[in-house]
Amino acid sequence: MNLVDWSDARIPNAKGEIGDAFAGIADAFAENFSDGSELGAGFAATIDGELIVDIRGGWRERRQETPWTEETIACVYSTGKAVLALLVAREVSNGRLDYNAPVAQYWPEFAANGKDKITLGQAVSHQDGLVAFPDGTPPETYLDWDAACAVIAEMTPLWTPGTANGYHPQTFGFIAGELLRRVTGATVGAILRDLGADKGVDVYCGLSPAEIARVAPMQKPPQAPDLGEINEFKKLAFLTRSAIPSRAGREEWMAAEIPASNMHTDARSLARLLSPLANDGAWPGGDQFIAPDIVNEALAERIRGDDLVLPFHLSWSSGVMGNINRHFGPNENAFGHAGFGGSCVLIDPENRLTAAYVPNKMSPHLVGDPRALRLINALYAAL
């Protein structure tokens, strides 16, 4: 793909590169800014792992003093779960994990209180009934990895594992991260730093002071997201003092490893990192990161149903959503994940396509943010 330098007078600080056929994406990006939806953002896409779009613009902060540049990173919240899905799939491919094996095979303490038969596949598709820390868990638990994992190991499932799906906003990251640590000896943050050095991508879980200086602060959404009718699971997941690390300062939170909600990255890095899931497990040039059959296993639907936590009928694979609601564009056979405030990633093996959207002006949409869909739809229109 022949990329050309891009800028746009309609967007403050607009910079990047874009393929000749994808001018419509730039128009969609400009529309997001012109209607007031955007403060700063980046959007990128790859085909066959090669960038076809990498654009950014706007401001890092509400005062509009610091431009959003190529060095800017932002929190993508739950979009980072797709990164965890990639890392877990790699260890399944390496033979260190097995989607059909009990979690307790790798983490014996996890077997307590009726969790001995929960499989890895169930855990990473939100079927294990471990939606959130029990109410009353000290919020500072989020900042202590061993303490967080000890709480999870003692939890009792809220439903019979494998019989229903209920989204895990935070516990998903500790479960996947502890399994990765048990079989590799490395934390999620350390794994991502090694990958970043090898592949030239900036995806972090736990930031250094120098990296914190690159972060675009998030502007809170104008209203809370619509969770639908509130039930006991939604209360635990979102509405108790234990649902978020509320006593952590901003920099303390950014420095911690909370894999399900505090990964920081840029759109270019996110789209590139996840490209093996759309390309039979390979990086550009043919370097095999995940075996093709394991990619197929990772993306196979594990459960479909009305989610007990999110107000949607969802299809869950091993860490990502099937696109049955078109939350990630027009191809129902694609996959994706979204993060609180609007970020998202698209994975489309049919078109060997990935895309990522990273903003800092948060919206109340849980998934299917109109800004992201405008960009993704323009991307498909150009294919």
Give the pLDDT confidence score for residue 362 in this predicted structure.
98
Question: What's the confidence (pLDDT) of residue 246?
Answer: 67
Q: Is residue 363 part of a domain?
A: no
Q: In whole angstroms, give the CA distance from residue 345 to residue 275.
A: 10
- pLDDT for 2 equals 81
**Domain CATH number, residue 301:** 3.40.710.10
What is the pLDDT, as a whole number, of residue 20? 87
pLDDT, residue 249, reads 83
Question: In the numeric block, which tokens belong to residue 85?
Answer: 């899905």
When computed from its CA atoms, the radius of gyration of the chain, rounded to whole angstroms, is 19
Q: Has residue 350 been placed in a domain? A: no
Say how far apart CA 316 and CA 127 lie, in whole Å.
9
21 in a structural domain: no
Residue 259 covered by a domain: yes
- What string of DSSP letters covers 90-115? HHHHTTS--TTSBGGGT-GGGGTTTT
| 195 located within any domain | yes
Residue 285 has what pLDDT? 87
pLDDT at 89: 98
pTM (2 d.p.): 0.97
Q: Which domain holds residue 152?
A: 72-271+293-321
Closest CA to 163 of 304, 337, 310: 304
103 and 115 Cβ atoms separated by less than 8 Å: yes
Which residue, among 303, 57, 285, 295, has the nearest Cα to 163 in the 3D structure? Answer: 303
* Secondary-structure breakdown of the chain: helix, strand, coil percentages, each rounded to the nearest 5: 35, 20, 45
Long-range pairs for 6-14: beta carbons < 8 A, 24 or more residues apart: 6/55, 8/57, 10/34, 11/57, 11/58, 12/57, 12/58, 12/59, 12/64, 12/67, 13/40, 13/56, 13/57, 13/58, 13/59, 13/67, 13/68, 13/69, 14/55, 14/56, 14/57
Q: How many domains is the chain partitioned into structurally?
A: 1
Residue 172: inside a domain: yes
pLDDT tens digit at each of 383 positions of the chain? 789 999 999 999 999 999 989 999 999 999 999 999 999 999 999 999 999 999 999 999 999 999 999 999 999 999 999 999 999 999 999 999 999 999 999 999 999 999 999 999 999 999 999 999 999 999 899 999 999 999 999 999 999 999 999 999 999 999 999 999 999 999 999 999 999 999 999 999 999 999 999 999 999 999 999 999 999 999 999 999 898 886 678 899 999 999 999 999 999 999 999 999 999 999 998 899 999 999 999 999 999 999 999 999 999 999 999 999 999 999 999 999 999 999 999 999 999 999 999 999 999 999 999 999 999 999 999 99
| Assigned domain for 164 exists | yes
Q: How many CA atoms does the CB half-sphere of 266 hold within 13 Å?
A: 26
